[in-house]
Amino acid sequence: MATTAPATTTANNATAVNNSAPKYKFSDNLWDGFDLLCKKTESDLSSSKNILLFFKKRAELEDQHAKKLEKLVSKLINEPVPEINTVNSGWKKIVNATFTESENHTLLNTNTLNKVCQPFQAMIKDMENKRKKIVNEGVKLRADMKEMVDALKKSQAKYEKVSKDLEMTKLEIKDAREFADTNPDTITKLERRRERLEQEQAASDDEYKEQIKATNDFQHLFNVEKLPKILSDFEGFMLQHTHLTKTYWTNWSNILKEQPPLFQQSYDGVRRTVEQIDSQIDVQEFIKKNQMKKVVTSPYQYEPYVEGRLDKKKSSFAGFNTLKDQFFKKRDDGTPNGAPAYTSSGKLAVKEAILPTASFGVNLEELMAKQKDTHPNLEVPRAMVVLAESITSLKGHVSEGIFRVPGIVSSIKAYKLRIDQGNFDLSAIDDVRTPAALFKQWLRDIPEPIIPDTLYKSAIDNPAGSLELIKKIPPINLKVLTYLIHFVQIFTKYEFVAHSKMGTSNMGMIFAPTILRCPSNDPSVLLQNVNHEKAFAESLFANFPQSGDFLGLPVSMSDALKDEDDIEELQMDDDESGPDSDNEIIHDQNINSRHSQQIIYSSSQNYDEDDIYPPPQSTTPPPQQRPISTSYTSVDTTPPAYSTTPEPSPLNASSGSTTPGSSSPATSPPAQPRKTFAWTKGVSRSVTPSQPQ
């Protein structure tokens, strides 16, 4: 008894608080809560389905365990005892106890299915039908109210137009009579028009008044009967759902009471907790938390047309805007006023709220403040680092089309929700496209652009001055941008581009929208600025000082060499690299953002025609399609230690072709064994021919 006292006291206190608190009602305190209640009831049914799956799985496990125990003792239960002694008697007892345990698990499985799963499943189906009916009635009621208001607005506009035309005709008649040379036929026509417009005005005036009465009558029905009924139906739905859920959980706790004492003791807490479920308390707390002020619009008033104002009359249309604000609000997802908030199945179509633990769609300053205590050493938001680690651990830097090829939408949404719920464990992901898509989405969802709007014009006007411009952005923005640049520079190393086919140009196209956001909504301006934004991003990736430690990510240059079959030694001599050879082309692009080299691409590594972003080609055509020029000129800084630079070699010196900056073929170094880049299956490697030819 001592263990149940605290629970009993808590239940009594809750009842006392409930009795002393004011009684809330959906129809009074959730007047504008139709959207909220649709979402709440949909969430409750979804939770019930998950609970049903739990009980079904629990029953299935009980059945499996019972069958395994029964199989274990089936041959032993009827075995004769060789001789009667204490050991054999003890063994017989163990076998019989195991068989009894098997029967208990079978009984638990049967009772769970019959007393919990089946009625719970029937309840869910019945509640879904009830909710669908309530939602459909509510959607139709709102549509009818909108239709009445639109009809009233249309009849008023018609009445004012006819009245204005009539006034204009009267003025024309007056002017015509004052002008001595006016043709009598003209005055006659104007008189006939006046008579016709007077009849139309009288008809439109009657129609306008009738529409006001019809709208006011429907509004009264809306406020007094229709909407309160729908809200009351929602309240009954929630009370019934909670009550039935408690009933079936009570059945479950009673099933547990029938188990042996060992099991009873462990489930005493379950029984006490279920007994404390109170649908009235839950509903009252829900209303108290979400209560809204009841605002009923006043009836519409007749507005007669007042002559003397021929300029376009501004309709005061009393109450129309108020009613539209009340029933047809513009939602957070940007859909227009009056647009349906629900699909035909009753699903709520509104933007999800940002969770308190969210990482997407949250300001950088807020994210840093949240992780200050748990991750004080991180200089950028944790989500950015976790996603970068996931991408590189899945070898995204050597995955073809990384950041370009889309992932599976359902998987992306599931892991986005997981991260927003504060769970950063992405170890179960086996598709690199998922974290890659989430990485881009996280950058896109930052409320304020990394490059502030005030600097946008300067950025697109002078992309080459990117390094100077980013010194002006806020400190946290600069840290995030620096991390992004260093991260992208990993992917633009030419050893990795051999596999991913995503060089600096492609990365600039991908990430430019995450760095710069055009403040204009004009499509022509957006289209015009695309290339400037891309050039700005490329400038950052190409000129920003590189990080030498791969940001501490699981990246190694050996990732570019997948297996021995990826490497093939090529021995090229002067004859093989002649003008008739068509199996090699020069891709003279600065793939590594800080180094410029000439790399030989095999014709077998051409980009697919389906690639969205083909590799940017050099604007300078190779002289006479020669694979390599006859001399070399130093054009940049020394490559990193892991790179292998081809040694100069006079290929086809007799042809006389020279690289810009070289003096003449005669100044080229003498022929010697040289290193060239072999390119097979997307892998580049420096090799040296054993015997120069």
Helix/strand/coil (H/E/C) assignment for every residue in 434-485: HHHHHHHHHHHHCCCCCCCHHHHHHHHHCHHHHHHHHHHCCHHHHHHHHHHH
Long-range contacts of 523-530 (CB under 8 A, 24+ apart): 529/460
**Is residue 341 domain-resident?**
no
**Is residue 351 domain-resident?**
no
CA distance 226 to 136: 13
CA distance 309 to 171: 12
**Is residue 77 domain-resident?**
yes
Q: Quick one: 283 and 393 in the same domain? A: no
pLDDT at 600: 30
Q: What single DSSP character describes residue 44?
A: H
**Is residue 638 domain-resident?**
yes
Q: Quick one: 157 and 280 in the same domain? A: yes
User: Would you say residue 325 has pLDDT above 90?
Assistant: no
Q: Quick one: 124 and 221 in the same domain? A: yes
Number of H helices, E strands in the chain: 21, 4
- Range in 22-36, 305-319, 365-379, 651-665 the model is least confident about: 651-665
The pLDDT tens digits of the residues spanning 122-171 come to 999 999 999 999 999 999 998 999 999 999 999 999 999 999 999 999 99
The pLDDT tens digits of the residues spanning 180-197 come to 788 888 889 999 999 999
pLDDT at 252: 83
CA distance 582 to 626: 10
CATH of the domain at 441: 1.10.555.10
Name the residue type at position 557. M
Q: Output phi, psi for 602, to 5 deg.
A: -75, 145
Q: Quick one: 479 and 531 in the same domain? A: yes
pLDDT at 48: 92
**Is residue 304 domain-resident?**
no
Instruction: Reduce the DSSP state of residue 687 to 3 states and report it.
Output: strand
pLDDT at 309: 63
Domain boundary among 515, 530, 560: 560
CATH of the domain at 288: 1.20.1270.60
Instruction: Reduce the DSSP state of residue 600 to 3 states and report it.
Output: strand
Q: Quick one: 570 and 556 in the same domain? A: no
Interval 89-113 mean pLDDT: 85
More confident residue, 176 or 270: 176
Q: What residues does 602 pair with on adjacent strands?
A: 584
**Is residue 315 domain-resident?**
no
Token reading at 200: 């139309």
Domain boundary among 501, 534, 560: 560
Interval 372-394 mean pLDDT: 92
CA distance 355 to 371: 15
Domain residues for 458? 364-560
Please report where in the chains the tokens 């008739």 appear, as a residue: 580
Long-range contacts of 296-302 (CB under 8 A, 24+ apart): 296/223, 297/219, 297/322, 297/323, 297/326, 299/216, 299/219, 299/220, 300/152, 300/212, 300/215, 300/216, 300/219, 301/212, 302/208, 302/209, 302/212
Domain count, the chain: 3
Identify whether the C-beta of residue 300 lies closer than 8 Å to the C-beta of residue 215.
Answer: yes
Please report where in the chains the tokens 């909504």 appear, as a residue: 521
Domain boundary among 494, 528, 560: 560
Q: What single DSSP character describes residue 277?
A: -
Instruction: Reduce the DSSP state of residue 630 to 3 states and report it.
Output: coil
Kindly report whether the global pTM for this prediction surpasses the value 0.85.
Answer: no
Please report where in the chains the tokens 């080229």 appear, as a residue: 668
Q: Quick one: 370 and 483 in the same domain? A: yes
- Cβ burial of 381 (10 Å; 0-12, 13-18, 19+) is buried
- Highest mean pLDDT among 10-24, 156-170, 595-609 belongs to 156-170
Q: Quick one: 117 and 219 in the same domain? A: yes
User: Would you say residue 684 has pLDDT above 50?
Assistant: no
User: Would you say residue 625 has pLDDT above 80?
Assistant: no
Q: Quick one: 270 and 370 in the same domain? A: no
pLDDT at 20: 56
The pLDDT tens digits of the residues spanning 462-479 come to 999 999 999 999 999 999
| Rounded alpha-carbon distances, angstroms, from residue 358 to 43, 348, 382, 422 | 19, 21, 11, 7
pLDDT at 293: 73
- Highest mean pLDDT among 22-36, 87-101, 149-163 belongs to 149-163
Q: Quick one: 375 and 266 in the same domain? A: no
DSSP structure string for 176-222:
HHHSTT--HHHHHHHHHHHHHHHHHHHHHHHHHHHHHHHHHHHHHHI
pLDDT at 263: 54
CA distance 620 to 57: 67
Identify whether the C-beta of residue 125 lies closer than 8 Å to the C-beta of residue 339.
Answer: no
Q: Quick one: 276 and 392 in the same domain? A: no
User: Would you say residue 403 has pLDDT above 90?
Assistant: yes
**Is residue 7 domain-resident?**
no
**Is residue 231 domain-resident?**
yes
Q: Quick one: 555 and 616 in the same domain? A: no
Q: Quick one: 518 and 645 in the same domain? A: no
